[in-house]
Each structure stands twice: as structure tokens, then as C-alpha cells.
Amino acid sequence: MKKTFVLLTLCCALMACKQNNIDFSIEPAEPRAGQSVRFTNLSSTGEEWAWTFGDGATASIKSPSHTYRKPGEYVVTLKVDNRSSWTKTAKLTVYDTIPTFVCEDSVFYIYKDYTFVANVYNPYNYDVQYEWTAVDSTATESSFTCYFTRPNESEIVSLRIILNGDTTYISQGFAIQDRKVHSVLMRTDGNDYRQRIFGERAEEARPDASAAALLDAEQDTAQTYNGYEFRLSELKTLFPELQGFHIANRKIYLRADGLWVANIDGAYLVQIDAAPCEAMTLDTEDSRIYWTNVEGVWYMPFVGSDNNRFVTSPKQLNTLSGVQKIAIDYSLK
């Protein structure tokens, strides 16, 4: 009787082991560092699951995913219902990481620099070749800086990496958003133009009928500064050739035979541009002066030295010819 009971117990145990098969699959079978690995629980029983992935990480759901940050060999263990006899282990080799690139920014705007950095796992210091492509520009370094010019569009940044004879192609799309900035308004014989300013960059000058009101109001023959009204007729006693002026930061910028700057009392008169100047205006928010000559529209920072000597060279904004009036519009900010 005792022998019969023992045999029955052994049979039940063997049947339970056969029925309660503990197993799991791994996909992909040869993952690389940084790649998500899916562990599918194939066990025939169980209500509680305890996973260890060999790198210190754990999970308690039935079929988890896990990402290994470093290549190497790992032992993965699944224990079902906290029973030591219901345990499955498997060795997993994680190979070198898949090359990719990242950018620390998550939102992208027009006319702002963004830097993309390639991440390449290269423990053996093989030669690496980089070929970046985006917005009609290319680069061959491990990082790539560019800016985007088309708002409300999706721009593609692509990278080709050659490492030890293996080539990897990576492309990512980025949604580009517009942003509000102020504009330079300009009037020629035929059109009024608007050109938005983004730091050291600007959009193309485009015809814009909404610029008319500000351009009609723009004049440089009178200005109130620190409570005193300066007029062209009075300032001509200091500057006989004066045609127009603006005042900012105790400096007077004036149109005469070219563009000049002087202290507000008339001292230290210095020429900025020798070419004839038809119109000028001041951007007090960005501390810049804008003016026209026969080659187009130019700008530079306000002059800050006591003797009005400047070291910053003028920069050309556009090549519009015949600009007769120029103004700044802050209303779009």
C-alpha cells in the first residue's frame, strides 16, 4: 500500500512537471545594445511572474520588454508563482549598439540652430565615416548643426555611418514650427516689403500690403528723446548736410553724404557708410541700425564707444534696390 502511494505521488509530480512547462522566447535572438528586446512568456501555467534580466533590472509582468544599455552576455531568468521548481533560465548575448543620432531639443522652430550628435558604439576604435544630409547642407563630422527655414513642414535629417566596413542609414523626421518675431518693413517704387528677422538670419523679403501704415508713419525729421523734441531744422546747425536722423542711447545716427554717428551733443562725428543713404531706422529692441544704399539694405549693432569708433562690420540684409523708406514692426511678436 505504501509503495502504491509513493508511485502515485511520483506520477502526479511527473505529470505536473510535464503540464506546467516553464518557457519563454526572445525576439530578436541577437539584439544589440540600445535595442528593445521582447520576452514572450510561453509557460503553460502561472499567475505571478518574476523576471531578472542579468543586468540588475527586473520585471513582474507576463511578457515584458527590456533594453540593454551595454553589450555583453546576460543570464535571463523567469520564475513562475515564486516556485523554485518553476524556473527557466537562458543566456542572451547582446551585441554592439545600433548607431543612431540624437538632439537635445524636442521642439523645433524655424531659423534656430539645432545640433544632432551621432551615437556609435565603437569599442575597438575603428575608423568611422559620417555623412549628414539635411536642408540642402551636408557634414562629415560626428555632430551636425543646421537650421530649418520652412514653417509647418516636416524636415528630414539623414545620417550615413560606415564603421569597419558596415554601413548604417538613419533618417528622422522633425516637425518644424513657426515663431513670432519682429520685421523690417521697406518701401520701393513698386512695393512695400516685409522681412522677418531671426537673430543673425532673416527670411526673404516679400511684398506685404500690411506694411503700408507703419511705412507711411515713418519719418526721420523729428524725434522726442528724453522729453525733448529734436527737429531736423535745429540739428542742421550742427550738421549742415543733414537729411534725416534717429536718436538712441545718447547717439545720433544721421543721413548726410552717407551714414554717420555722433554723440548727442555733436561730438565725435564718425562715418559708418560712405555710400548715399536714402532711408534709415533703429531697432531699439535688438539695438541695431538698418539703412539703405545702392546695394540693398544693411544693418549693424548700435555704436557703443565714447568716441564712436566701431569694430563690427555692417552686414547686408538683402539686395533690394531703390528702398525709399524703412521701419521696424514689433506687432508680430
Query: If you average pLDDT over residues 2-7, what whole number do you get?
Result: 43
Mean pLDDT of the chain: 90
Query: If you average pLDDT over residues 10-14, what whole number do you get?
Result: 46
Spatial distance between the Cα atoms of 25 and 42, rounded to a whole number of angstroms:
7
Q: Per-residue confidence at 160, pLDDT binned at 50, 70, 90? A: very high
Summarize pLDDT for 174-190 with one digit per residue, the tens. Answer: 999 999 999 999 999 98
Question: Amino acid identity of 135?
Answer: V
Is residue 130 predicted with pLDDT exceeding 50? yes
Q: In the prediction, which pLDDT does 100 show?
A: 86
Spatial distance between the Cα atoms of 24 and 210, rounded to a whole number of angstroms:
68
Spatial distance between the Cα atoms of 150 and 147, rounded to a whole number of angstroms:
10
Q: In the prediction, which pLDDT does 333 show?
A: 57
Is residue 205 predicted with pLDDT exceeding 60? yes
Summarize pLDDT for 110-126 with one digit per residue, the tens. Answer: 999 999 999 887 877 89
Is residue 197 predicted with pLDDT exceeding 90? yes
**Residue 257 backbone dihedrals phi, psi, to 5 degrees:** -85, 70
Summarize pLDDT for 55-87 with one digit per residue, the tens. Answer: 999 999 999 999 988 888 999 999 999 998 899
Is residue 270 predicted with pLDDT exceeding 90? yes
Question: Amino acid identity of 28?
Answer: P
Strand 166-177 relative to strand 108-109, pairing: parallel
**Residue 149 backbone dihedrals phi, psi, to 5 degrees:** -120, -5
Summarize pLDDT for 272-285 with one digit per residue, the tens. Answer: 999 999 999 999 99
Nearest to 185 by CA among 303, 315, 330, 284: 330
Within 10 angstroms of residue 143's Cβ, the number of other Cβ atoms is 13
Nearest to 193 by CA among 53, 48, 325: 325
The 3-state secondary structure of the chain reads: CHHHHHHHHHHHHHHHHHHCCCCEEEECCCCECCCEEEEEECCCCCCCEEEECCCCCEECCCCCEEECCCCEEEEEEEEECCCCCCEEEEEEEEECCCCEEEECCCCEEECCCEEEEEECCCCCCCCEEEEEEECCEEECCCEEEECECCCCEEEEEEEEEEECCEEEEEEEEEEEECCCCCEEEEECCCCEEEEEEECCEECCCEECHHHHHHHHHCCCCEEEECCEEEEHHHHCCCCCCCCEEEEECCEEEEEECEEEEEECCCCCCEEEECCCCCCEEEECCCCEEEEEECCEEEEEECCCCCCCCCCCCCEEEECCCCCCEEEEECCCC
Is residue 48 predicted with pLDDT exceeding 50? yes
Is residue 248 predicted with pLDDT exceeding 80? yes
Using a CB cutoff of 8 Å and minimum separation of 24, what contacts does 234-243 make? 238/262, 238/266, 239/266, 239/269, 243/277
Spatial distance between the Cα atoms of 195 and 197, rounded to a whole number of angstroms:
6
Query: If you average pLDDT over residues 37-48, what whole number do you get?
Result: 94
Q: In the prediction, which pLDDT does 146 show?
A: 95
Spatial distance between the Cα atoms of 284 and 213, rounded to a whole number of angstroms:
20
Query: If you average pLDDT over residues 144-170, what whole number do you get?
Result: 94
CB 74 within 8 A of CB 89: no
The more confidently predicted of residues 109 and 84 is 109
Is residue 2 predicted with pLDDT exceeding 70? no
Q: In the prediction, which pLDDT does 149 show?
A: 94
Q: In the prediction, which pLDDT does 19 show?
A: 59
Q: In the prediction, which pLDDT does 116 show?
A: 96
Q: In the prediction, which pLDDT does 7 show?
A: 43
CATH superfamily, region 100-177: Immunoglobulins (2.60.40.10)
Nearest to 88 by CA among 25, 136, 138: 25
Q: In the prediction, which pLDDT does 12 show?
A: 47
Spatial distance between the Cα atoms of 291 and 282, rounded to a whole number of angstroms:
9
Q: What is the CATH number of domain 22-94?
A: 2.60.40.10
Half-sphere exposure of 269 (CA within 13 A, CB side): 14
Measured in residues, the chain has a length of: 333
Q: In the prediction, which pLDDT does 120 show?
A: 86
Is residue 4 predicted with pLDDT exceeding 70? no
Q: Three cell numbers at 300?
A: 549693424
Residues of the chain with CATH 2.60.40.10: 22-94, 100-177
